[in-house]
Amino acid sequence: MAQRDWRIEYRADAALSDSENARLRHFLFGCFPYETAFLTRRYIKQAPAHRWLVLDEKGGIVGHAAVHEKTIGTQNGDLRIGGVAEVCVASPYRGKGVMKELLREIFEWLHGRDVPFAMLFGQPKVYASSGFQPIDNELAAENSLARHWNPFCGKAMIKPLAKTPWPRGKIELRGPTF
């Protein structure tokens, strides 16, 4: 395996410095230029509790993923998930396994906290190689203004992290988007 020129670091969102905040907002707006929220803050609807940054040899941000701690409603009761959001990799680093390793670290972290599923909204052709699989459950938002659960027109997808079976039936998506 070739030596890589990047590293992955965890950051609690609340612990980001002013400098990291500015750099992250700049990076996220570059990845998602249609999302003007990144001009003034580092999240779209709600700040995630956790972030992973991919940094180059000089400490520049070249990749990112956020994780929201969420509870969804199911016909079998509440279920904890890790809502994965804002996954992006700078174009010079694409095709080098950055996203797969980034997601693998997130999966291990969630699994270590007994979170049985990671969930995201994305394109199956992009995320299937990292173990995400589309779900066909009916999705409902608890508030009628929360229609932005799927801001990128992606498919609801899950990555099982435990032996817990994914529930059948309607899934109640609670709170702001991730």
What is the domain partition of the chain in residue ranges?
Answer: 6-12+50-173
pLDDT in tens, 41-53: 999 888 999 999 9
pLDDT in tens, 48-105: 999 999 999 999 999 999 999 999 999 999 999 999 999 999 999 999 999 999 999 9
Q: Domain 6-12+50-173 in CATH: superfamily?
A: Gcn5-related N-acetyltransferase (GNAT) (3.40.630.30)
Q: What is the pLDDT of residue 153?
A: 62
- Ranges of beta strands (E only) in 4-163 are 6-12, 50-56, 61-74, 77-89, 117-122, 133-134, 139-141, 155-160
Q: Tokens in use for 99?
A: 């996203």
What average pLDDT score do residues 160-167 get? 96
pTM: 0.91
Question: What percentage of residues in the chain have a pLDDT greater than 90?
Answer: 83
Paired strand residues for 8 = 54
Residue with tokens 């972030």: 51
Residue with tokens 């190689």: 129
- CA dihedral sign, ordered 64, 69, 72, 77: positive
Residue with tokens 């027109």: 153
DSSP letter at 30 equals H
Answer whether 42's CB lies under 8 Å from 23's CB.
Answer: no
Mean pLDDT of the chain: 91
* Nearest CA among 1, 55, 15, 38 for reference residue 151: 38
